[in-house]
Amino acid sequence: MQERRKKRGPIIDFLLLGLIVTLTTVILVIILSKDEFKFQKISASKEEPKTESVNSNLSTESSAFPGIRIVTDVSNDKRTPFAIHYPQTDNKVFNDAVLQYISDSKENYLASMKKNKDKEAMGELNISLETFPYREHYYSFVLTKMEYLGGANHEVSTKTFFINNETGEQITIQTLLQNDENNLSTLAANVRKDLQKNLQIKDELFTDELLKATEPKWSNFNRFAIVDDSLQFYFNEYEIASGAAGAPIVKLPLSLINPLLASEFQIAMENVKPTNPPPTGDPNKKRIALTFDDGPHPKVTEQILNILDKYHAKATFFMLGSRVQYYPDIARDVLARGHEIGNHSWNHPVLTKLTQEQVMKEYNTTANEIEKAINHGATVFRPPYGATNDTINAEIPIPVVLWSIDTLDWKHRNAQQLLPHVKNNLHNNAIVLMHDIHQSTADGLDAVLAYLQEQGYEFVTVSEILPYRQ
């Protein structure tokens, strides 16, 4: 028995040693595998986007412009909200260029907010779109970016695209100026002169930055748009002036720089219309312009539109930007039914008590909101309370319109008093002031329209009646 035990001893020892080696090997393999997995995970993480993903609602809608769609990208994320609008066409190259700008803007915004050490800070990114058609198939797209990263101030910058929508070609400033550096020098001198003589921002200009930004270099003038009869150049906030100047815009009449332009963009000088064209219709015909301020209203405006349809009457609606923002679908309905839309400021202040910068902010923010809602700019402007002056009128780029008959509907709020106020003050080519935010106005409007129609009045928009009031 003792001899058997002695013989088994080495065998058992050998087996135990083998078991230990095997277990050690398995443990080492597991450890090495985990380390490799960690390494792969770290390597993979370096390839992931640096910005956090944010849920957003993306939609695409057709527009009033052939071949142009509007893309809306909105996120209500609590810390990093954004609202972005940009154009889309049938041309992939153009779409890719726009999308690159949008993607870069979003990524930089989200990355900056992620790096912000103040985790309670809230950011904001808004990119608004203005679309300006020129001739039959040229479009200027102006993308204005307002970015706030939780600091003291926001930043405003502009990106523009000018395209031939038939070919998809992006038109550069070189193409516009015939690739002629002499034309560029002349243009640069005009832009600099316009900025230096602008009384509203003259004292806010940074001399060195202005001179540098208006040197005759092609890269200095790549933010431009053709808007109606002017070539506009955009400067970012703080680029050439203090924050009080906002984001300066230079507007050069095409008639001034016509010889500098390539032939397809020149205007026929003999066809340039005077600022105030004379009336072409019968001056003795009875006309009246009905106007409605302070809307749109989700209930009253629609009631008024239905009454106007009943009498085949056209009117002008002076809208507040703060309300268009909430009811863009009603603004679109107003335009679709053939009425004119006017700008009535953002939130109805007394403009004469504001600085010129504040006045233009009231105008521009509303203009942008209306453009965004209806893909069309407001054609007339009415200052709240009729409070304006020559300085304000000179800065507003569209006709400033008051009224000749005040129905006082804002004061009496009585449907029965609407018609008497019109009757007692009625005259040809009158502009009637009413408000589409009062139920009493909607209730009394039918009687007004019936009476005016009986008297032989034609219902026209403000823009149609202005030539007869000069």
Q: Which residues are catalytic?
A: 293, 435
3-state class (DSSP) for residue 290: strand
| Distance between start and end Cα atoms, the chain | 134
Bridge pairing between strands 155-164 and 138-148 = antiparallel
Other residues' Cβ atoms within 10 Å of the Cβ of residue 60: 10
* Cβ atoms of residues 164 and 107 within 8 Å: no
Closest Cα to residue 403, out of 291, 314, 318, 308?
291
Say if residues 342 and 382 touch (Cβ distance below 8 Å): yes
Task: With beta carbons less than 8 A apart as the criterion, state whether 228 and 234 touch.
Answer: no
Whole-angstrom distance, CA of residue 78 vs CA of residue 122: 7
The Cα 149–Cα 112 span in angstroms is 7
Q: Rounded to whole angstroms, how far apart are CA atoms 212 and 204?
A: 16
> What is the pairing mode between strands 405-406 and 224-227?
unpaired
Residue 119, amino acid: K
Extract the tokens encoding 46. Answer: 């370096």
Distance CA 223, CA 143 (A): 10
Q: E strands within 8-151?
A: 57-62, 69-75, 82-88, 124-134, 138-148
The values of phi and psi at residue 465, to 5°, are -95, -20
Give the whole-angstrom CA distance, residue 132 versus residue 352: 30
Q: Which residues contact 325 (CB under 8 A, 6 or more apart)?
A: 369
Task: Annotate 262-290 with b (16+ C-beta within 10 A) or e (fewer).
Answer: eeebeeeeeeeeeeeeeeeeeeeeebbbb
Can you say whether residue 261 is alpha, beta or left, with left for phi > 0 and alpha for psi between -120 and 50 degrees? beta
What is the C-alpha to C-alpha distance for residues 360 and 230, in angstroms, rounded to an integer? 19
| Cβ–Cβ under 8 Å, residues 225 and 242 | no
